[in-house]
A and B are shown apart, each in its own frame.
Chain A
Amino acid sequence: MSEPTTPVFSVRDLWKVFGPGADRIPGSEHAALPSTELRERTGCTAAVRNVSFDVDKGEVFVVMGLSGSGKSTLVRCLTRLIEPTSGTLAIDGEDVLAMDRTRLRELRRHRAAMVFQHFGLLPHRTVLDNVAYGLEIQGLGKAERRARAAELVEKVGLGGLEDRRPAQLSGGQQQRVGLARALAVDPSVLLFDEPFSALDPLIRREMQDEVVRLHREEGRTMVFITHDLSEALRLGTRIALMRDGEIVQLGTPEEIVGSPADDYVRAFVRDVPREQVLTVATAMRPPSAGEGDHGPALRPEATVSEAIEAVARSGDPVARVMKDGRLVGVVDHACLLDVVAGTGAQAVTV
């Protein structure tokens, strides 16, 4: 699926090691040690180990993992809020690690904006001035930045609250301010660091919808950090699953759920309602003779649960999977049940 255009972020062999003599760890004999042993031997902690990936333009790249897996460190390395220990890192093909202070500041000001778990709002400023803060940093005039900020306040649904202070807002509202502040600078990529984990489930859902909407409407590239699998599956174009600083698996939600790379990932995705993630393209089998003439037609990217519904409604034993008016396969009860039960040996084909 990767296209010839330059990826927004291109990360290769990235390491971040904390502790004494951290820069000697990558590439040494200690590099492969498990984290506890590494700490005992060298006193160092490797938060990010040898990570490589690309973030493509327009995608929502989700980095998922439990706390301590290094995902938050990783996202901070992208704009050098945390200085990586080794590796290469490019944004739109430009080497980030080689940037001087001014260039790096330009990067942070215009190209990548971040939304934080604990919002990071300035308590002494009003909502409007918080949203305008990024623009103020850039040196924009007061009237101009306020006008722009007012637009964004409206856009994230906080109209009328411009003069409040952060302390007077609910958590969800505060995060909308955080989002508006990031959007105000019109960055080419948005970085989210577990933005919704401090929020109530209902609000979280609402905010996720907001992100989905933003992505759909503006097609902005996003890197999204989360520890919540369902959030990852809901938002992610691709998901990188991290454990102990390493990426254990990188793929589409369907790949992660459908063919976990190892037991860790398997355990992770065990409780996921697979029929809502996996597509019929995964579940289908080649049609036997005669199966291609009748039964409901489905797109390959339809989810299994949609297929189940279609089959159940039509009363036909099989449903046809059609791509561009051409039959590519069929799904019957057995295929669909295999997905639900997780018993079939799916070979994911994309």
Chain B
Amino acid sequence: MARTRTRAHLRTTATVASAAALLAVTGCGAADMTKQASPFAAPADIKTVTLSVQSWVGAQANVAVAQKLLEDELGYRVDLVQTDEVPAWDALSQGRVDAILEDWGHPDQEKLYVEDKKTIVPGGDLGVTGHIGWYVPAYWAEEHPDVTEWKNLDKYADELRTPESGDKGQLMDGSPSYVTNDKALVKNLGLDYKVVFAGSEAAQITQIQQFAKEKKPFLSYWYQPQWLFNEVPMVEVELPEYSDACAAKAPEDIDCAYPTTPLQKYLNADFSKRGGEAAAFLKKFHWSEKDQNKVSEMIASERLAPGEAAERWIEENPATWKKWLDR
């Protein structure tokens, strides 16, 4: 009896304590967690910009150069956050990230955040044009020139079999975060292929490099600009021509090639207004595919640290970046 009573007593104490703790945490005022910065951000007296880095190297090149210039020329401290594309939009809307420098087109997110919630504003063109497509290695295309036409792909399905694709040819896709219609395309074009997801771009690149070393044929979802083309030359397979009408179809009915996308920058709305020099700089940031590839290559094939690669490019191309700093 005595024991149960003590327990009850203890339980009460515990309840009161936790309630008090909860009150201490929640009791006073509102806390908007969408406005909280990273705990690892630099102290408040330093001007800070947080950039989103996507996983591909092109994006790393953008960010590396922007970071270097922001730090060296404008005296900001730059924090990088690596996330996938869609979560990056979310983070951008919340202000945990100030800018995305390379977006490949996310109509849903654009509608939600830019049009409806107005928490994100467009930051203009990056200057680079992106294109997604199906690619085969150049060495294989040279032997079989007709493979670059989608109608002939079935002929080669046998050669492209892997344990994962079973009795069909393998069409390799990469990260689940990338925009892809491949399953629908295979179905709607009636191809004897199976889409195999590598699961991440890293895995996909590793596999492509491996195939290339062996001079084996492969068919892969890939995109331009991409540094890997320099290491493994690839040729695009022509798919039915892109049209806006086709792109407007439901995702499972799409049966045409991917569009050519001028890559976009996006800024958090607050940052765009109050970001001062940094916001102005990021809005003006604009370079060519060639520039981006130069930096990407240094990062990816020469294995330079992104900062170092950026520094080299900055040394060699002052004319390009000086314009971004103009008031």
Contacts and interface: CB of A to CB of B under 8 A. Distances in A.
Nearest to A80: B2
Interface string A66-101: 000000000000000001000000000000000001
A104 interface: yes
Nearest to A104: B2
Contacts of B2: 101, 104
A104 B2 CA distance: 10
Contacts of B1: 83
Contacts of A104: 2
A83 B1 CA distance: 8
Nearest to A105: B2
Nearest to B6: A101
Interface in B278-323: none
B237 to A, nearest CB: 73
Contacts of B5: 101
A51 to B, nearest CB: 21
Interface string B1-18: 110010000000000000
A83 B5 CA distance: 14
Nearest to A83: B1
Contacts of A83: 1
A101 B2 CA distance: 7
Interface size class of B (residues with CB under 8 A): under 10
Interface of A: 83, 101, 104
4 contacts: A83-B1, A101-B2, A101-B5, A104-B2
A23 to B, nearest CB: 13
B3 to A, nearest CB: 10
What 4 A-B pairs are tightest by C-beta distance, nearest first?
Answer: A101-B2, A83-B1, A104-B2, A101-B5
A83 B2 CA distance: 10
Interface in B192-224: none
Nearest to A101: B2
A104 B6 CA distance: 14
A83 B4 CA distance: 13
A224 to B, nearest CB: 26
Contacts of A101: 2, 5
Interface in B1-59: 1-2, 5
Nearest to B5: A101
Nearest to A100: B2
Nearest to B1: A83
Interface in B93-116: none
B10 to A, nearest CB: 14
A84 to B, nearest CB: 12
A16 to B, nearest CB: 14
Interface in B72-126: none
A92 to B, nearest CB: 21
A223 to B, nearest CB: 21
A253 to B, nearest CB: 37
A101 B9 CA distance: 13
Nearest to B2: A101
Interface in B250-274: none
B108 to A, nearest CB: 61
A101 B5 CA distance: 10
Nearest to A81: B2
A321 to B, nearest CB: 54
A317 B183 CA distance: 121
A101 B1 CA distance: 10
B216 to A, nearest CB: 67
B4 to A, nearest CB: 11
A25 to B, nearest CB: 19
A286 B2 CA distance: 59
A104 B5 CA distance: 14
B161 to A, nearest CB: 67
A83 to B, nearest CB: 6
